Structure 1
């Protein structure tokens, strides 16, 4: 197998892994909405990720610090967007909007990646990619609405939808920033720096929320979920996603994000006993077909 093909397959594999882990994060986060305030949930999540990651990354961070220091401004902006704000906005949105609205707005993220890449970096939007995006969006909407147009027409938008839209835009910007990671900084060092700086930026908001709603929200009911979002949906998923961005580029990796409703549906079937029917199979075929079509890049087109 050619080295380039092998690298691309590995890139798609880690992108799928990150998306699968984030699918579990959405299910867990929705279940914790009534148990932990949004900023506290985000803070506990990233605190867990930093504490678990530190023993493995701190030595490399110390060695790489001379390479990190000249790019501290870039690191700060990337950490604030991708760590401090992105998931916190999702948790805030979950308090005032529905799961359907969250899912529908979340799938706009790859579209924003394509649009921003086109405007800022002149990335070519091929006809196949445009058609692929339309096919994927059709499949996702069909899956979320269970094939019933009335569900889509009955949607009402509230303040939480704006938070979710902002989150989608921020994640698109974050993914594009990751593609331009400074050379010479190892991925572990890069990721640990983002986690740590994002946590520091989140601390004042956590203190503010604690003053308004004091309480220790970690207990036997919430701790397993916090550990999941901290270790798997944060540490593992972001390491995988950043590797995918570096290997595939933000647009290609972004298309894999559309498989999230498929993973969410599978998890709901396995753990919540939700039914899987014909509409799910049709939606899955549309989503996967659209992803394959959108990721077919003609020779000479820059990714």
Structure 2
């Protein structure tokens, strides 16, 4: 079930990259992040309120860890995703977000003492090869002359922040229920986004709340936030952050297919080769022996 939860979460998040890329000219990035998390928080808090009230003392006792999880996983990560979309495309965003498993494996070894087997390193290497195959379109010349756009660097930073969040979720105190933890992180992470979005209105281009923007906000607020975060946190509790993070290598594949279907971006045989490598690497890295 942990593997299934991780795969479903990654599938939903792939759509988030498409929205970030497809609506880059329709709504400012911080505003999009604020609307996303405000929607998720307003919908989820009525369901989490009872658990949060019951676990209030535990929430207060671990407030520093909760604030850090909220800032890394809610406030900063998704905002950086939308900022990244200004200077890079959906597939590249997913590719650089897929560097997260490397960060997670290293951080899990340092802070959680998770064992890194030779098989896991081999699977990690093969999955990275698949990611690079897609990124370079199978050309060694592209790899040699690979240049980074500003959005790529921003996504790299976002990937590290998501790794930190994943480690914090695994360290969630047993005295805090899952609903209380999500409700607290959603609320704490949304609060700083609201004034930031209001400030953004002063210098951002004018935008309008069209039906398409409403649909995008509902998708990222309900599915990419509520459903995907619940699935991701459940996956981490079942199989650990290291195994769950490996499924993020599928994001370039899912985002590539979505970009082809919805945005008209091409998908080639190279993407198929990359998928085979990524799939094989994840299977190897998540096998017990």
TM-score when normalising by structure 1: 0.88
What per-residue deviation string (whole Å, max 9, x for no partner) do you get for residues 38-91 of structure 1?
111100110111112123222332223233221122111110111000111111
Shift in Å at residue 171 of structure 1?
A: 0.4
Aligned counterpart, 1:143: 134
Provide the rounded CA distance (Å) in 1 between the counterparts of 2:258 and 2:148.
Answer: 27
What secondary structure sits across from 1:212 in the alignment? coil
Tell me how large the CA RMSD over aligned residues is. Answer: 2.0
Counterpart in the other structure of 1:206? 197
Matched, 1:66 2:72: no
**Whole-angstrom CA distance in 2 between matches of 1:26 and 1:210:** 23
Distance in 1 of aligned mates of 2:46 and 2:69? 23
1:133 aligns with 2:120: no
Supply the distance in 2 between the matched residues of 1:283 and 1:199 (Cα, whole angstroms): 36
Q: Give the structure 1 partner of residue 216 of structure 2.
A: 225
CA distance in 2, matches of 1:213, 1:275: 31
Q: Alignment partner of 2:212: what SS?
A: coil
Structure 2: stretches of 5+ with no match in the other structure:
none
Equivalent position of 1:192 in the other structure: 183
User: Aligned in 2, Cα 1:96/1:282: closer, same or farther, shift over 3 Å?
Assistant: closer
Task: Measure, in 2, the Cα distance between the counterparts of 1:290 and 1:203.
Answer: 40
The equivalent of 2:233 in structure 1 is 242
Per-residue CA deviations over 1:14-46 (Å, capped at 9, x if unaligned) read 000100000011011111111111111100110
Structure 1 gaps of 5+ residues are 1-9, 299-303
Contact 1:107-1:258 within 8 A present in 2 as well? yes
Matching residue of 2:283? 292
Partner Cα distance (2:222, 2:195) in 1 = 23
Q: Find the counterpart in structure 2 of residue 172 from structure 1.
A: 163
Q: CA deviation at 1:281?
A: 3.0
Give the distance between the partners of 1:129 and 1:251, measured in 2 at CA. Answer: 10
1:12 counterpart (3, 26, 36): 3
CA 50–216 in structure 1, closer or farther in 2 if over 3 Å, else same: farther
Question: 273-282 or 81-90, which moves further after superposition?
Answer: 273-282
Q: Deviations over 1:146-187 (max 9, x none)?
A: 323344344322333332121011000000000000112221
Q: Identify the residue that residue 19 of structure 2 maps to in structure 1.
A: 28
C-alpha separation in 2, matches of 1:98 and 1:271 = 13
